[in-house]
Structure 1
């Protein structure tokens, strides 16, 4: 698919947090015109002095093929005016938390221009909401809408003295990423457009590389085409890692300073909470996801049982190759300080009411038992004293797929044929 018309067009990045700010600098350092947008309530903090300081990329940037890009970049525009950010842009990257999607999409959709490509990362049902709102708002602009199952980095925005700086510390760069368009028939164009996003250069450089692990398993680097957008959502391993880790490891987090005598700022779920017992729960959680994907006739990324028994989990393979793992018997100081520092964190407040709840509902729709996933929702809700599933707006009806038969859902996912309720 020829998407070369995107080559010299600006990139608009929506979201001035860690992922958005890092992607903006990464693209600008490679010479792209980048417009960075954030909501007015966050822009004042996230864009403080950005026109003077630019955005600095630092950090170890570990990756299997050694790709690094460091330096300070100036973006063409940092604004809270979305119209200025997206006008004339070829690619629009949405890099915000899921709960912000609907408000952002309602503002974005009237501004769309024919030929634009929307990249949502991670998806967290964002493509369903985008297409739903396009129907609701009678938008017929011809755009491609797709998503990736994760962000291309492991990052933290540097804070000094309580101030959010314009330095993004990139610890890791991913070398493989799974994506798809909604509908799937647009995926060739969507995947081709990704080659015009310099923030994906570590993935682009790895495209087509195959590494053979010690066990003989083939590991494919580069862009991986998912089997429908539901594959992208179920392949997002954040819920299977974060939720059991945060719920079952809560004692370590809450006692980290008062009992264990450590500085709270050094806490890491990966470095201190994960353990063999939690890994067993994560593995069963993943088994339920595999059963669900099979029943729904969609794809799912490959995660092996042993991948859970590492402090780097399955993410280690994506960043550092198929044989990279840090056993629970070892300390791994690269994780120190990446949190979460309390239970009111996206590891719970996003991964439960969006990720886990979606799986639980699909399980009921398809007759697949999800007892571990359901227990995580119950325990998380109990611990933060809120009913996360009942409070969640991410019902199948909200996504406008709850009423569909299996055949109707497949037509919608693959061909974009929407069956109204």
Structure 2
């Protein structure tokens, strides 16, 4: 299959390498054009680590070219870029063209669904709870793939197209996907925001000084306990919604193949095995700039709707805002775009299940 990837960072490069290695054709689109310049001249993409090889993904010059040239689309860039790229690709998406969001943030699937509903278009929009690959981008022609996850939670909007969405994921990335109970479950299945909050908060001076530091080793017992308490808030919200999601212990066990133990002990084991990863070497890291406004804030909002206050998550938004001198809560444009503050819990459940209504006029025009 031909897959158009929106983005050109570490996750997009890892996905392109995976797809090419599996016999599919990948095309990358960098909204700025800067991150694909070298690939556009014919240089190869070199993957190392958990996936090795030399690949030649195509490069799109525009959103329109990317959409029109491919069977499936995949959004693989930080959450703060989702609204802009959804605005760019939505006018060209055709009926039945599946869109994968790797990974889903702040109900972006609903925003894209609304844009398409206004055109009378319905497609499977598959929200991933996390990414298939993890890694770094040593250069603009390299993908260092640290992990290929064995399990990834997914859900499709609208739910009526779930079988089609799951089939596309399996065709492209293999039998690693677990169908969850809608995007509310996916919203509460992404542990990166809470985990990155604890790790960044407790290692901020290392980040600001640009140090090279082992992440797994520095999830010490106190840091691990903070992550576990953050996780209890997330689980309480899921239970209030009647949803079953993996806890943090299952997450590390299944994603990183280590025996269940305390969060700190599992991270120490990952470090001993050489799979603990390297922490951010800059304060300008997605651990904060993406995960605080587009991850922590969403959990806070769901906590408010369900009557299960996420006080530690809320504290994280406020503390990082104070540290960075910016209002991270105001930076989430996706929640405002779907009118989150005006939604009742019942209306949010209905949208998560069925998506936005397609008007008769829009359907006729399409």
Counterpart residue number, 2:342: 403
How far apart are residue 329 of structure 1 and its match? 8.6
Cα-to-partner distance string for 1:235-284 (whole Å, 9 max, x where unaligned): 100011100111123244446xxxxxxxx452243333x21112212111
In structure 1, the residue matched to 2:42 is: 52
Matched residue, 2:114: 132
Residues 1:168 and 2:168 aligned together: no
State the alpha-carbon separation in 1 of the partners of residues 47 and 159 from structure 2: 34
1:347 equivalent to 2:293? Answer no
- Pairwise mapping of residues 173-252 of structure 1 onto structure 2 (< 5 A)? 173-197=148-172, 200-201=173-174, 204=175, 222-252=176-206
Distance 1:253 1:141, change over 3 A: closer
Q: Deviations over 1:21-73 (max 9, x none)?
A: 2211221233323222111x2x23433145433212211x1xxxxxxx42211
Tell me which of 123, 127, 145 is aligned to 2:104: 123
Listed as ranges, the matches of 1:6-85 within 5 Å are: 9-39=1-31, 41=32, 43-59=33-49, 61=50, 69-75=51-57, 77-85=58-66
- Root-mean-square deviation (CA), in Å? 2.6
TM-score (norm 1): 0.77
- For residue 385 of structure 1, the aligned residue among 325, 333, 337 is 325
Count the aligned residue pairs: 355
Mapped contact 1:26–1:57 kept (Cα < 8 A) = no
Q: Larger Cα Rg: Structure 1 or Structure 2?
A: 1
Which of the two has greater helix per residue?
A: 2
Change over 3 Å in CA distance of 1:398–1:322 after alignment to 2 = farther
Q: 1:248 to 1:362 in 2, by over 3 A?
A: same
In the alignment, the residues of structure 2 paired with residue 25 and residue 235 of structure 1 have an alpha-carbon distance, to the nearest angstrom, of: 25
Rounded Cα–Cα distance in structure 2 between residues aligned with 1:124 and 1:97: 9
Paired residues of 2:235 and 2:247 also in contact (CA < 8 A): no
Structure 1 gaps of 5+ residues are 1-8, 62-68, 159-163, 205-221, 256-263, 308-313
SS of structure 2 residue aligned to 1:369: coil
Is 1:156 the counterpart of 2:139? The answer is no
The yes-or-no answer on 1:110 pairing with 2:91 is yes
Cα distance in 2 between the residues matched to 1:108 and 1:331: 40
With 336-345 and 244-253 compared, the bigger mean Cα shift is at: 336-345
In structure 1, what is the Cα distance between the partners aligned to 2:280 and 2:222? Answer: 20
Query: Is 2:203 aligned against 1:279?
Result: no
1:298-329 Cα shifts (integer Å, max 9, x gaps): 3322333xx7xxxxxx4353132555964649
Give 2:215's aligned residue: 269
Q: 1:355 to 1:419 in 2, by over 3 A?
A: farther
